[in-house]
Amino acid sequence: MGIALEHFCYVSVKCHMKTLLASALVLLLACCLSTPCRAGSNPDKDLTKKVSDILTECKKIAPGTTRAELLKVFTTEGGISTATRRTFAHRLCPYIKVDVEFIPSEPKQNALEERPTDIISKISRPYLEWSIID
């Protein structure tokens, strides 16, 4: 009978240990999953402010704005372009770009002639891209 009681106690402790281990594992997993996963928990405040300022400045350029106004904020980018369609890079960061479509200011304007009075008909959201130099 002593052996049977010993065996019962061993089995009972083993079952409790498995239950305790499983409970600890579930608790650990729950803690890991409930902890918020934030990218950049220590963002660079100066960089964040600069990017915010640039994005705010970009919003001011909209359809109806002239090419001259656009060129106060952006500069021309390399690559294929025409007077009615071109990519522009921000003056403070050449990796921040917008694609712009224009309405020529003169009806008989040459297809390659860009004028300060051309009107923006469409502008993309700002995006990031390496510089194109040609």
Average pLDDT along the chain, 134 residues, taken 10 residues at a time: 55 54 48 53 90 94 97 93 94 96 91 93 96 78
Considering just the CA atoms, what is the radius of gyration of the chain in Å?
A: 32
What integer pLDDT is reported at residue 31 of this predicted model? 46
What integer pLDDT is reported at residue 18 of this predicted model? 61
Q: Please, are residues 61 and 120 in contact by the beta-carbon 8 Å criterion?
A: yes
What integer pLDDT is reported at residue 4 of this predicted model? 56
Q: pTM of whole model > 0.85? A: no
Q: Please, are residues 73 and 54 in contact by the beta-carbon 8 Å criterion?
A: no
